[in-house]
Amino acid sequence: MLAISIEALIKIALLVGGLMTGAAYFVLLERWIAAWVQDRKGPNRVGIPLTKIKLFGLGQPLADGLKFIFKEEATPRHVDKVLFTLAPISILAAALAIYAVIPFGSVLPKDGVPGVDHQINLIVAPGIDVGMIYMFALSSIAVYGVILGGWASNSKYSLLGGLRSSAQLIAYELPMGLAIVGVVLMTGSMRLEEVIGVQASTGTWFAFSQPLGFVIFVVASFAEAARLPFDLPEAEQELVGGYHTEYAGMRLIMYLIAEFLHMITASFLIAILFLGGWHFWGITGGSSTDVTWFQAIARIVVLNVKIFAIIVFFMLARWSWPRFRFDQLMSLAWKVMLPLGLVNLVAVACLVEYQPVLESKLGSLGITAAMWAIAFVAWIAAGILAPLHSDNSARKDNFVLDAERRNRGLRPGIAGPSATGPY
């Protein structure tokens, strides 16, 4: 009992320490990438304190953190004080608690650690059979932080940010769930370590065998992490800072850390569910119980490299895409992502049900090709049936307004003839 507790505490310490440091340095990385994309230098001055050594600006996160800690903890007079404090705490706690079921490596070798009589699994709570639903439960708790922060601030910017955010998070949870169900169907388990195990033992990552699910999951996790092009909850140009407009000091940094943790969580999940987790051909081996020390460490490195690559992708996407308009965001979720998720689900279910027949007729390569063909056709169909309108032509709702205008003898349409345009 004591040994298990100590083991769990060591894992938690490693994970929380790593995540907090990671979040701090990812801020620096984000600023570097932003600077690189925009052809400027970015933070490169702060090095070791009290010396002139610059170290490419690696001291920046430390300086930022200290600045946040020493800032005044300003509480505006018009806020609801209890909820104002509770909101950032709840969002950070939920963001951290998700990592109880997320593996950060594979296993350590049997008898590899002196004084431990069982094989150490690199996951904080290895026995939880409902890992993925637990994850969903906690990400829905995180919505509370946003809603409560927006409401308790008693400010219009915050309220609008909170409203937008809750609508967005609720909308994109559905396609995300559908994409995950595809993975669960193929794996037969809701444990993330078993999801990796199946991908490693077959050598086929789920991104190859269900490309549609992969795309949906990536898009939905961008939305769930509120990253551009889905950062409407805190669109600076419209809402100042969104739901954390009124925050300062430690409570603000809790929100910021939680946002970065959401992005790191999303990267973990993309890597684990669709990109094979710790598996890489020729380096890590495929068994999830028999490992050498080399393989055990290689697996941790592989997983972290994948996560790092996905985070860099997140950051590059931020500076490559403009933000969606809110109606575009919603129609993408309900008219494109949700039907595509259903298509993916049906395809995977058929695949799982008729696996032996299909295997004998098409071969495993043929099955993968068929899944890609389905993905392609569904994607084209979605593009034709529910195109994303990026122009500013009047929406169909305006027909009501048009009828009214015609009745009043005015020219119909807000944007002129386009009111009868593409629709």
Cβ of residue 400: shortest distance to other proteins, in angstroms? Answer: 4
Cβ of residue 360: shortest distance to other proteins, in angstroms? Answer: 27
Say if residues 267 and 312 touch (Cβ distance below 8 Å): no
Cβ of residue 176: shortest distance to other proteins, in angstroms? Answer: 13
For binding to other proteins (CB under 8 A), which residues are involved?
A: 80, 83, 86, 127-130, 133-134, 136-138, 140-141, 143-144, 147-148, 150-152, 154, 159, 162-163, 166-167, 170, 188-190, 399-400, 403-404, 407-409
Which letter does DSSP use for residue 57 in this model? G
Local structure of 118: helix, strand or coil: coil
Q: Which two tokens stand for residue 238?
A: 């419209």
Separation of alpha carbons 52 and 35, rounded Å: 23
Cβ of residue 166: shortest distance to other proteins, in angstroms? Answer: 5
Q: Which residues pair with 107 in a beta bridge?
A: 121
Cβ of residue 141: shortest distance to other proteins, in angstroms? Answer: 7
SS3 track for 92-111: HHHHHHHHHCCCCCCECCCC
Minimum CB distance to other proteins smaller for 147 or for 375: 147
Cβ of residue 133: shortest distance to other proteins, in angstroms? Answer: 4
Report in angstroms the alpha-carbon separations of 218 from 175, 275, 292, 298, 313: 10, 11, 33, 25, 11
Ramachandran angles phi, psi of 128, nearest 5°: -80, 120
Minimum CB distance to other proteins smaller for 304 or for 418: 418
Separation of alpha carbons 263 and 98, rounded Å: 12
Cβ of residue 147: shortest distance to other proteins, in angstroms? Answer: 5
Minimum CB distance to other proteins smaller for 174 or for 240: 174
Separation of alpha carbons 283 and 285, rounded Å: 6
Cβ of residue 150: shortest distance to other proteins, in angstroms? Answer: 7
Distance from chain centroid for Cα 7: 28
- The sign of the torsion formed by the CA atoms of 170, 245, 90, 305 equals positive
Cβ of residue 190: shortest distance to other proteins, in angstroms? Answer: 6
Minimum CB distance to other proteins smaller for 209 or for 398: 398
The number of CA neighbours under 13 Å toward the Cβ of 115 is 5
Q: What is the CA radius of gyration of the chain?
A: 24
Cβ of residue 172: shortest distance to other proteins, in angstroms? Answer: 13
Minimum CB distance to other proteins smaller for 175 or for 229: 175
Separation of alpha carbons 15 and 104, rounded Å: 8
SS3 track for 205-268: CHHHHCHHHHHHHHHHHHHHCCCCCCCHHHCHHHHCCHHHCCCCHHHHHHHHHHHHHHHHHHHH
Of 335, 158, 156, 174, the closest CA to residue 233 belongs to 158
The number of CA neighbours under 13 Å toward the Cβ of 256 is 19
